[in-house]
A and B are shown apart, each in its own frame.
Chain A
Amino acid sequence: MIPELGHFALILAFFVALVQGVLPLVGAHKNRADWIAVARPATAATFLLVGVSFACLTWAFYVNDFSVEYVAGHSNTQLPLMYRLSAVWGGHEGSLLLWVFMLVGWAAAVAAFSRQLPAAMVARVLGVLGLVTVGLMAFVILTSNPFDRLMSPPAEGRSLNPLLQDPGLIYHPPLLYMGYVGMAVAYAFAMAALLAGQLDAAWARWSRPWTTVAWVFLTLGIALGSWWAYYELGWGGWWFWDPVENASFMPWLVATALIHSLAVTEKRGSFKNWTVLLAIAAFSLSLLGTFLVRSGVLTSVHAFATDPKRGLFILILLAIVVGASLLLFAARAPKVSLGGRFELVSRETFLLVNNVLLVVACGAVLLGTLYPLIVDAFGGGKISVGPPYFNAVFIPIMLPLLVLVALGPVARWKQADLPAMLKKLWPAAVVAVAAGIVLPMLAGKWHAYVALALALVGWMTAALVLQTIERFKAGSPTASWWGMQLAHFGLAVMVVGIAMVSTYEEERDVRMEPGETVSVGGHTFKFHGVRESRGPNYTADVGDFDVFLANGKFLRKLYPEKRDYDTSQMPMTEAAIDPGFTRDVYVSLAEPLSPDKENGPWAVRVYFKPFVGWIWGGSLLMALGGLLAAADRRYRIRAKSSSAVPAGAPA
């Protein structure tokens, strides 16, 4: 009964979304206030209906209704409750429903928090979101219905992949989708502006907080995914340039360019066409990512069960959504006015260079991700493009950006005084050189790459401090300014983490008998054998390790596990990590080396990972910076009285 209700709610939502998509757009075009007024209630209704549908699917998992095919494929009576509930998005159909739920959620938020915007504008934005929703829902209903029933329900479900039975599954997909799907709002604002023929600074001001918040979620989602891979997979890696990872990273790069470009458009009315194009690109990349992950066109550890038929549907959807927007762009862009004047050396220019670098980096990632497909399509056989390529190409493009981060915020709008700027920043240059020379030596051995990275970090951080001192002389800074500083600081922190861990990490692969020790990175591990233990749906071999510091003092115990899940053939490694501010130490049980698992030898891997936590700490700071910026007062000011210029006049 409940699954049928969920299915019915979804179909109903489809029709309401259709109303939400068509009526307000036509109403705004024809200036019919009654049709414009349909936008908000229709959006609310769609949100409620999809919410009901999602709740029904969740209920089916809660009670383990194995007559529902999707539940039977992903759940199990022994599966702990929290994983049962997050298994809702553990597979293709359910995760797609989550996608749609996030989309209508964002639309509802826009409907609720846009009282100060003109009604016609809101109608257009919600209308565009409605049409996108219609497309996605058609996809779900026609090809990926999570409510399909099985003729003969099994007594027990197939359960969730053990790798997914982790808190990461609870947080990573929802956060990631909130970001991914949130780009649709920026897209909708851009489309609304193009449709109305009204592209101006006001539009940029309205889109900016929405885009920034979506960017925050995307940052958090990607960072969480990276952290999850690090502690879950057991081999210490945190980024693999896997196609699905790239699929989330590309929208992030473009979204970062977008929030910087929006700053210019909001303040100076410039780059309007470029900003609109970025907004379209960000969401297009989200849709492209959805296509890549679910169509089977690329191989990836993350890919859902692939089906070319579904791939075709998404491709058509992608073609329509993006094609229509680019067509509209080509038609309307020539008529858009240029905005304020600025010199070759100015903040505008620095931000444009930022954009070029980010977009080129995104292009490089896209090229590398799709290249195997390109070669294959042209009959050139099969090649692989992996981390060596991406690292070789991505890092050099990003390094100049780190230099710019210090320059942009101190440059004046319209015309910057480069000699004066450099004079102000010379202490930062000194710090940079010092950091590059001294810090690597302190860490162990001097390497050119890490020296360069640390020098750039020194440059960025010192410049940040100088800027802060300077800024306070001019009065109390806004939340937006604090957000920028915090986000840039977070970037510096992240670069430290990446550089340090890539250069100075240590790994030891040893054969350990109980009583033996192994040392890595100044820490000593003593092995006390393994004992068997039983979890809710698995049996585990639990290793017993003592960890000592360099001075011989006892630190703590660590218990890495090797798990055999009841429903899976493959054993899973559960690493034991001692996280720290300046380093992680990591122990992993590889495999038993003799039939005597309790007292016999095991193959063990220990890692020393300096500053690895700074990668995700930095990302968190970036996200917080974004939140601060989005919370700035000026986005919440209501439209003023008659003395104010009517918002939305073409610049």
Chain B
Amino acid sequence: MNLSLKLLLAACAALSFSLPVQAKEAAPLAEDPVVEKRLIKISAELRCLVCQNESLAGSQAELAKDLREEVRGLIKEGKSDREVKDFLVSRYGEFVLYRPQIKPTTYLLWGGPFLLLFIGLFALVRFLKQRSKMVVDTPLSDEEKKRAEALLKDGQS
């Protein structure tokens, strides 16, 4: 093709790669971004019941979409996070919560790690104190000193 046509095509290409000032800004998928934000926050802590192990926020399963729609409705009605979670728990049980509720059955779960840490550090301190009493430093004898020096010299070669 001739030069002027090439130039024209190049100009078009340059224009199409320019700042899209006139381009229209895409509309958010959600009707109400504030509601959406709360939805994402709440549903990230909920389990998708038909998936193997995914949160309600990310799952593409049919039931997950339905439940997200349901939660959206509840948020618009002005329900609090607690009320939304209770709504789902009363229908699906506690299994739907990714953050286990703190109650007698889960005291061990929530307290366990910190209890372990406490026990670990306590046992460590006790062990260290006991140990320093048990282990006595014996200084090297002359013969052992000579052997140590010979080994050190060897190791430097």
Interface string of A338-367 (1 = CB under 8 A from B): 111111100001001100110111011001
Q: Is the CB of B112 within 8 A of A386?
A: no
> Could you say which of A384, A388, A516, A548 contacts B26, with CB atoms under 8 Å apart?
A516
Q: Which of A352-391 contact B (CB under 8 A)?
A: 352-353, 356-357, 359-361, 363-364, 367-368, 371, 375, 380-389
A residues 60-112 in Cβ contact with B at 8 Å: none
Q: Tell whether, in the assembled complex, residue A508 and residue B28 are in contact, meaning their CB atoms are under 8 Å apart.
A: yes
A240's nearest neighbour on chain B, judged by CB, is B53
Q: B64 at the A/B interface (Cβ < 8 Å)? A: no
Interface residues of B in 8-60 (CB under 8 A from A): 17-20, 23-30, 36, 44-45, 47, 51-55, 58
Report chain B residues within 8 Å CB of A364: 112-113, 116
CB distance from B78 to the nearest CB of A (A): 23
Interface hits, B45-97 → A, CB 8 Å = 45, 47, 51-55, 58, 93-97
> What CA separation (Å) do A35 and B101 show in the bound complex?
59
A363 touches B150 (CB 8 A): no
Q: Could you say which of A603, A643, A644 contacts B29, with CB atoms under 8 Å apart?
A: A603
A156, CB-defined interface residue at 8 Å: no
A418 CB–B CB distance under 8 Å: no
B29, B54, B97: residue with the most chain A Cβ atoms closer than 10 Å: B29
Taking A360-B116, A364-B116, A510-B29 as contacts, is the C-beta distance between A552 and B19 under 8 angstroms? Answer: yes
The answer to whether B109 and A381 have CB atoms under 8 Å apart is no
**Contact A367:B109 (CB < 8 A) given known A383-B97, A384-B97, A640-B154:** yes
CB atoms of B106 and A383 under 8 A apart:
yes
Q: Which residues B111-157 have CB closer than 8 A to chain A?
A: 112-114, 116-117, 120-121, 124, 128-129, 131-132, 134-137, 147, 150-151, 154
Residues in chain B near residue A388, CB distance under 8 A:
45, 98-99
Is A515 among interface residues, defined by CB-CB distance under 8 A?
A: yes
Mark out the residues of chain A between 501 and 550 whose CB falls within 8 Å of any chain B CB in the assembled complex: 508-513, 515-519, 524, 526-527, 546, 548
Q: Does B2 contact A (CB under 8 A)?
A: no
In chain A, positions 30-58 with a C-beta closer than 8 Å to chain B are none
Shortest C-beta distance, B143 to chain A (Å), equals: 13
- C-alpha spacing A340/B106, complex, angstroms: 43
For residue A482, CB closer than 8 A to chain B, the reply is no
**B36 closest partner in A (C-beta):** A509
CA distance A644 to B151 in the complex (A): 7
The answer to whether A341 touches B137, judged by C-beta atoms less than 8 angstroms apart, is yes
Q: Which residue of A lies closest to B150 (CB)?
A: A643
The reply to whether A387 and B98 form a contact with Cβ atoms under 8 Å apart is yes
Q: Does A243 contact B (CB under 8 A)?
A: yes
| B17 lies within 8 A of A554 (CB) | yes
Q: Let me know if B150 and A386 touch, CB within 8 A.
A: no
Inter-chain CA distance A548–B106, complex, in Å, is 50
Within the complex, which residue of A360, A368, A518 is in contact with B117, where a contact is CB–CB below 8 Å? A360
Given A363-B116, A384-B47, decide whether A510 and B55 contact each other with a Cβ distance below 8 A. no
Given contacts A385-B100, A389-B98, A516-B25, contact A339 B135 (CB under 8 A): yes
Which residues in window 209-255 of A have CB below 8 A to B? 235, 237, 240, 242-243
Are B100 and A381 in contact, CB atoms less than 8 angstroms apart? no
Contact of B98 among A340, A357, A386, A590 (CB under 8 A): A386
Is residue B105 within 8 Å, beta carbon to beta carbon, of the partner chain? yes
- Name B40's closest neighbour in chain A (CB-CB): A507
Stretch at the interface among A199-207, A298-306, A433-441: A298-306
With both beta carbons as reference points, the residue of chain B lying nearest to A356 in the complex is identified as B120
In the bound assembly, the distance between CA atoms of A338 and B25 in angstroms comes to 71
Closest to A606 in B: B26
Give CA–CA (A71, B132) in the complex, Å: 61
Is the Cβ of B134 less than 8 Å from the Cβ of A338? yes
Contact partner of A513 (CB less than 8 A), chosen from B26, B105, B131, is B26
Contacts A344-B132, A360-B117 given: A380-B105 contact, CB under 8 Å? yes
- What chain B residues lie within 8 Å of A397 (beta carbons)? 113, 117
Query: Which of B93, B117, B129 has the most chain A CB within a 10 Å cutoff?
Result: B117
- Checking B26, B45, B93, B97 against A512 with a beta-carbon cut-off of 8 angstroms, the contacting residue is B26
Whole-angstrom distance between the Cβ of A190 and the nearest chain B Cβ: 20
Contact A510 B28 (CB under 8 A): yes
> Complex Cα distance A519/B113, Å?
42
**Which residue among B36, B94, B98, B134 has the maximum number of chain A CB atoms within 10 Å of its CB?**
B98
In the complex, the answer to whether A526 meets B23 with C-beta atoms within 8 Å is: yes
Q: Is the CB of B94 within 8 A of A511?
A: no
B119 to chain A, nearest CB (A): 9
- How far is B94's CA from A126's CA once the two chains are assembled, in angstroms? 49
Q: Give every chain B residue within 8 A of A381 (Cβ-Cβ).
A: 93-95
Shortest CB-to-CB span from B24 to chain A, Å, is 5
> Is A393 interfacial (CB-CB < 8 Å)?
yes
A303 touches B52 (CB 8 A): yes
User: Are A518 and B100 interface neighbours, CB within 8 A?
Assistant: no
A235 contacts B58, C-beta separation under 8 Å: yes
Q: Is A645 an interface residue (CB 8 A)?
A: yes
Residue contact B25 to A383, C-beta cutoff 8 Å = no
Q: When A341-B135, A524-B20 are in contact, do A349 and B47 touch as well, CB less than 8 Å?
A: no
Most buried by B among A303, A384, A519: A384
On whether A383 and B95 interact (CB within 8 A), knowing A352-B124, A364-B113, A516-B23, the answer reads yes
Q: What are the residues of chain B within 8 A of A524 when measuring CB–CB? A: 20
Contact residue among B51, B112, B151 (Cβ-Cβ distance under 8 Å from A367): B112
Please indicate the chain B residues that have their CB under 8 angstroms from the CB of A510 in the complex: 26-29
| Residues of B close to A405: CB separation below 8 A | none
CA distance A388 to B95 in the complex (A): 14
Q: Which residues of B contact A299 (CB under 8 A)?
A: 52-53
| CA–CA, A511 and B30, complex, Å | 9
Q: List, in ascending order, chain B residues with CB within 8 A of A303's CB.
A: 52
- Closest residue of chain A to B24 (Cβ to Cβ) is A516
Q: Are the C-beta atoms of A341 and B136 separated by less than 8 Å?
A: yes
Top-10 shortest CB links A-B: A386-B98, A552-B19, A364-B113, A388-B99, A510-B26, A516-B26, A356-B120, A341-B135, A512-B26, A518-B26
Given A367-B112, A644-B151, 18 additional A-B pairs, CB 8 A: A299-B52, A299-B53, A344-B132, A352-B128, A363-B112, A371-B108, A375-B105, A383-B105, A384-B94, A386-B98, A387-B98, A389-B109, A389-B110, A513-B26, A516-B24, A552-B18, A643-B151, A644-B154
Using a CB–CB distance below 8 Å, which chain B residues touch chain A?
A: 17-20, 23-30, 36, 44-45, 47, 51-55, 58, 93-100, 105-106, 108-110, 112-114, 116-117, 120-121, 124, 128-129, 131-132, 134-137, 147, 150-151, 154
Can you identify 28 A-B contacts, CB atoms within 8 angstroms? A301-B51, A301-B53, A338-B131, A339-B135, A341-B136, A352-B124, A353-B121, A356-B117, A383-B105, A384-B47, A385-B100, A386-B99, A389-B98, A389-B100, A389-B110, A397-B117, A511-B27, A512-B26, A513-B24, A516-B25, A516-B26, A518-B26, A526-B20, A546-B20, A603-B29, A644-B151, A645-B147, A645-B151
Please report A residues at the B interface, Cβ cutoff 8 Å: 235, 237, 240, 242-243, 299-301, 303, 338-344, 349, 352-353, 356-357, 359-361, 363-364, 367-368, 371, 375, 380-389, 392-393, 397, 508-513, 515-519, 524, 526-527, 546, 548, 552, 554, 590, 603-604, 640, 643-645
